[in-house]
């Protein structure tokens, strides 16, 4: 990356030097060896008292993931309390994410990573921070780590609402084959095996292929293939090497959201489409490397990644509003290479009778986007170009964090993160080309009190940010209207605070309660659907979350989570509602069965409350209740299960929007209406698994 980081280094380097000098000076005074604690995470029942730095931090293990009935891949994220996953288009597209009063669209302000490799794509053709999880094979996930708010120095861009990282399995317990079949042409095959290559090394491979038409009158024809090859060496003493290759390809047709009036007038059925040529195809191929070494009380880790990504997406949301003859379909096209990595060093030491843990690290990333474009099309045939760009976006971040146990009942942690960005845009319209740079420093602080009576109290505060689309930082002329437009700020500041408590008051019960507050300076965004910037104001969100997991005995566990949020634009008067901000989310579930064999089952409930669709709150989307169930039998090496999704067969809407569109025969200015994407009706899927 050909840009300098003086501003960031000027802020963070003194902190790094001070932290290192402090540790070096006092490490010699400590006569006893301190080893870094390891926490083996098997599920939400694991008590993170004494380990977590915030009430909203957590981990979910593979056993809980395996017990959940899923409709779509993105629902892996619903293991994070308060997260809602829906879809407004075809099954091959990234899902819609909702958390803490954000409509995160396809990932903005929610950071997602797999083994240190970012999933969020900046300056993406469809939307900033686009995060497509369809390449993840659930059976190959070991655990999911998550946190909320801008309180973690290791996580930078897109993390105002929170972050999650998927850790893949190092070694399968046994080779397996799984076959699934269901209604609407659904079929899935997945297999995996681990081959030991010595006492300390193992190679794991997995393959998934699936198809699904969905309940749509215009079948999805979703076809997806994913694969993983992974080699891990670990000596059991903290030294480890992991090399991972992932591959994924998908193609589909899409039933996008449709105007409610088209259903009510009988033009289409509830699962009908008004443009049967919508859809897309995408692929992602990646390699990652992870190296760590332990030397006494010090751990050094380096991770590298590189991936190739491609997307062609065809959509038509306004139908015939802009072009009464050929229609409003458009193609969003993305072609890029991404590479980057991080290096960090963590050491424990003792000074003046107190235990200290200090970490310093560096992260780099570059997106080399040879084409990010928006084109007008008709039945997937290109008619003209709205905008086409080549972009090189590079960033570097440095961070330092230290934690000290002041007393047996108090831990302090403080850190600072610095980020520098360079945006280089080469547009077909030279007026929108240019180079922008930006730097930002983000301090964080937290305190943990306890434990007392198996209870810890937390308080956290921090600054964070999200980056804006590079094209919005250099834009001068709207490609849609030809009118002058203002450029957006490259980096947008967020400010968050959170207080909470974590308790394990009964054996097997883990409960957390948190109250939080988050301000964003603005939510200026580049709208990929229009090739233009959309101006929104500063926002304020606050709320309360209560998360519970209770393992009553070896064959029964339950969980229940509640999230209440208030989200508003600041200084907006009566029109201060944030569209699609969900105020109430309730999730609950139960899992029964023994690992040794016999009958097993699961039941999951998800409720999200009604939400405003426009700023003045005169149009709202109704609430939604979804109940999913599973029943099965396992013995020895075999397992058979039946999933019933949307068990109550409710006519929910996955998502709804309010805007103007035009059907044939309607006025030229179109008709403002609710546009909805229906949730799938009751759906049955069965599976058979064999372990060898």
Q: Give pLDDT, residue 197.
A: 81
Q: Are 100 and 541 in contact (CB under 8 A)?
A: yes
Give the position of tokens 């709208």.
Answer: 527
Range with the lowest mean pLDDT among 383-397, 409-423, 525-539? Answer: 525-539
What backbone torsions phi and psi does residue 442 show, to the nearest 5 degrees?
Answer: -135, 95
Over residues 619-631, mean pLDDT: 97
- Percent above pLDDT 70 for the chain: 92
Per-residue pLDDT at 20 exceeds 60 = no
Name which residue leads in pLDDT, 43 or 431.
431
Per-residue pLDDT at 282 exceeds 60 = yes
Q: Are 119 and 144 in contact (CB under 8 A)?
A: no
Tell how far CA 45 is from the center of its chain: 23
Tell how far CA 303 is from the center of its chain: 20
**Pick from 579, 417, 394: nearest CA to 493:** 417
- Percent above pLDDT 90 for the chain: 84
Per-residue pLDDT at 651 exceeds 80 = yes
Q: Give pLDDT, residue 470.
A: 96
The pLDDT confidence band at residue 201, using thresholds 50, 70 and 90, is very high
The pLDDT confidence band at residue 27, using thresholds 50, 70 and 90, is very low
Over residues 574-579, mean pLDDT: 91
Over residues 51-72, mean pLDDT: 93
Per-residue pLDDT at 660 exceeds 70 = yes
**Pick from 537, 538, 561, 534: nearest CA to 549:** 561
Over residues 502-526, mean pLDDT: 89
Q: What span, in angstroms and rounded, lies between the C-alpha atoms of 13 and 251?
A: 47
Q: How many CA atoms lie within 13 A of 349 on its CB side?
A: 21
Name which residue leads in pLDDT, 480 or 40.
480
And the tokens for 54? 């915030």
Render pLDDT for 356-398 as a digit per residue (tens, 0 to 9).
Answer: 999 999 999 999 999 999 999 999 999 999 999 999 999 999 9
Q: Give pLDDT, residue 632.
A: 97
Residues 6+ apart with CB under 8 A from 578: 101, 103, 539, 567, 568, 569, 612, 615
Q: What span, in angstroms and rounded, lies between the C-alpha atoms of 232 and 195?
A: 11
Q: Give pLDDT, residue 668.
A: 95
Q: Give pLDDT, residue 351.
A: 87
Query: Residue 635: how many CB atoms within 10 A of its CB?
Result: 10
Per-residue pLDDT at 293 exceeds 70 = yes
Q: What span, in angstroms and rounded, lies between the C-alpha atoms of 47 and 38?
A: 13
What backbone torsions phi and psi does residue 668 show, to the nearest 5 degrees?
Answer: -60, -35
And the tokens for 600? 């097993």
Per-residue pLDDT at 255 exceeds 70 = yes
Over residues 636-650, mean pLDDT: 97
**Pick from 686, 629, 685, 619: nearest CA to 653:** 619
Q: What span, in angstroms and rounded, lies between the C-alpha atoms of 194 and 43?
A: 23
- Name the pairing type of β-strands 330-351 and 298-315: antiparallel
């Amino acid at each position: 990356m050909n840009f300098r980081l003086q501003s960031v280094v000027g802020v963070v380097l003194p902190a790094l030097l001070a932290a290192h000098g402090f540790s070096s000076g006092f490490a010699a005074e400590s006569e006893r060896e301190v080893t870094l604690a390891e926490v083996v995470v098997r599920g939400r029942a694991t008590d993170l008292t004494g380990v977590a730095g915030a009430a909203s931090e957590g981990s979910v293990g593979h056993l809980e993931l395996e017990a959940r009935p899923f409709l779509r891949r993105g629902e892996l994220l619903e293991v994070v309390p308060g997260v809602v996953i829906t879809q407004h288009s075809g099954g091959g597209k990234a899902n819609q994410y909702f958390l803490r009063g954000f409509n995160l669209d396809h990932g903005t302000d929610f950071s997602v990573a797999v083994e240190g490799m970012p999933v969020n794509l900046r300056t993406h053709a469809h939307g900033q921070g686009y995060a497509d999880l369809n390449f993840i094979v659930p059976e190959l996930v070991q655990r999911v780590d998550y946190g909320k708010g801008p309180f973690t120095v290791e996580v930078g861009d897109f993390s105002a609402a929170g972050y999650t990282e998927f850790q893949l399995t190092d070694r399968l317990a046994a080779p397996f084959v799984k076959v699934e079949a269901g209604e609407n042409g659904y079929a899935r095959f997945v297999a995996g095996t681990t081959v030991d290559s010595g006492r300390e090394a193992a190679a794991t491979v997995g393959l998934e292929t699936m198809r699904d038409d969905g309940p749509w009158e215009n079948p999805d024809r979703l076809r997806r293939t994913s694969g993983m090859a992974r080699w891990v060496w670990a000596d059991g003493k903290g030294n480890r090497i992991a090399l991972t290759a992932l591959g994924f390809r998908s193609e589909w047709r899409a039933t996008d959201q449709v105007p409610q009036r088209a259903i009510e007038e009988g033009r289409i059925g509830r699962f009908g489409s008004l443009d049967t040529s919508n859809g897309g195809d995408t692929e992602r191929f990646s390699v990652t490397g992870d190296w760590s070494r332990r030397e006494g009380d010090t751990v050094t880790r380096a991770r590298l990644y590189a991936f190739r990504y491609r997307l062609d997406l065809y959509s038509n949301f306004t139908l015939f509003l802009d072009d009464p003859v050929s229609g409003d379909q458009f193609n969003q096209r993305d072609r890029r290479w991404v590479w980057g990595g991080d290096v960090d060093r963590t050491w424990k030491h003792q000074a003046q009778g107190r235990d200290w843990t200090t970490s310093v690290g560096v992260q780099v990333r570059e997106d080399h986007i040879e084409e990010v474009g928006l084109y007008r099309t008709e039945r997937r045939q290109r008619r003209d170009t709205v905008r086409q760009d080549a972009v090189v976006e590079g960033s570097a971040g440095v961070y330092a964090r230290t934690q000290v146990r002041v007393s047996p009942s108090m831990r302090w942690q403080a850190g600072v993160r610095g980020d520098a960005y360079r945006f280089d845009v080469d547009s077909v319209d030279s007026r929108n080309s240019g180079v922008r740079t930006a730097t930002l420093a983000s301090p964080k602080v937290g305190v943990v009190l306890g434990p007392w009576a198996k209870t810890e109290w937390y308080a956290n505060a921090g600054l964070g940010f999200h980056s804006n689309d590079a094209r919005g930082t250099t834009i001068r002329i709207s490609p849609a209207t030809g009118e002058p437009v203002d450029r957006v700020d490259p980096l947008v500041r967020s400010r968050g605070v959170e207080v909470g408590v974590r308790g394990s008051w009964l054996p097997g019960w883990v409960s957390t309660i948190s109250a939080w507050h988050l301000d964003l300076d603005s939510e200026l965004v580049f709208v990929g659907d229009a090739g233009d910037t959309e101006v929104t104001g500063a926002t304020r969100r606050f709320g309360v979350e209560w998360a519970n997991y209770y393992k009553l005995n070896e064959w029964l566990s339950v969980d229940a989570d509640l999230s209440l949020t208030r989200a508003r634009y600041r200084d907006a008067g009566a029109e201060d509602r944030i569209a699609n901000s969900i105020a109430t989310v309730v999730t609950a579930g139960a899992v029964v069965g023994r690992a040794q064999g016999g009958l097993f089952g699961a039941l999951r409930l998800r409720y999200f409350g009604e939400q405003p669709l426009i700023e003045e709150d005169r149009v709202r989307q109704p609430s939604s209740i979804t109940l999913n169930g599973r029943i099965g039998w396992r013995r020895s090496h075999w397992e058979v299960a039946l999933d019933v999704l949307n068990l109550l067969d409710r006519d929910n809407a996955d998502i709804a929007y309010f805007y103007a569109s035009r059907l044939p025969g309607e006025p030229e200015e179109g008709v403002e209406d609710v546009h909805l994407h229906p949730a799938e009706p009751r759906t049955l899927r069965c599976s058979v698994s064999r372990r060898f």
